[in-house]
Structure 1
Amino acid sequence: MKAKVTSYTTNKRIAMMMEHLSPGKGGRHRQTNSYGKSPNLKLSPREVLAKEIQDVRSIYLRQGLYNKDIRYSLQTLIRMNKLQWKDIFDKENIKS
């Protein structure tokens, strides 16, 4: 997000904890589409957040683990990002 948002600092980032076995392989974090890849700077932060949420949701669905608690956690993650970065995630302020 640093490349898109000049006021972004890593101490204000919001993250979600996912299983990530170490050392070794496996874990849900490694299954995400963005794991180990550079960010797509053509997308707005809002678009990236939406894609990441959908990706995580699909991982839990595929594993038969998606439930109301996971759904609530993903909704909370979205709300927290919108609160922390009010102008960035407004539909009206999308900047690609």
Structure 2
Amino acid sequence: MAAKVLGYSREMGIAIMMEHPLPGKGGRHRQTISYGQSPNLSLLPREALAKEISDARAIYRRQGLYTPQIRRSLQQVIQSNKLAWLGVFEKGVNS
């Protein structure tokens, strides 16, 4: 997002902890599409956030763990980003 939003740095990012399943190796974070990848700079911030949330939702669904609590947590990530970066995640911004 640093390439798209003035004043943003990686330390300012909003994240969700994806716990490690027991037993298991590497945890859910390593299953995400963005793990170890460079950011896709062709995406708008809104598109990137939607893609990441959708990916996390799919991981929890595959594992039979997509509960109302997980759903609320993902919605909180969206809301926290919108509040922290007013206007950045609105439709039509930066397009």
TM-score, normalisation: structure 1? 0.88
Identity between Structure 1 and Structure 2 (%): 62
Local SS of the residue matching 1:70: helix
Matched-pair contact (CA < 8 Å) for 1:29–1:35: yes
Match of 2:3 in 1: 3
Question: Deviation per CA, 1:14-46, whole angstroms, max 9, x where unpaired?
Answer: 11111258xx94310000000000010000010
Local SS of the residue matching 2:92: helix
Match of 2:60 in 1: 60
- The Cα RMSD (Å) is 1.7
Match of 2:74 in 1: 74
**C-alpha distance in 1, partners of 2:11/2:31?**
25
Gaps of at least 5 residues in structure 2 are none
**C-alpha distance in 2, partners of 1:89/1:65?**
27
Q: CA deviation at 1:11?
A: 3.9
> Aligned AA for 1:71?
R
Residues paired across the two proteins, number: 93
Match of 2:51 in 1: 51
Match of 2:29 in 1: 29
Extract structure 1 runs of 4+ deviating beyond 2 A: 9-12
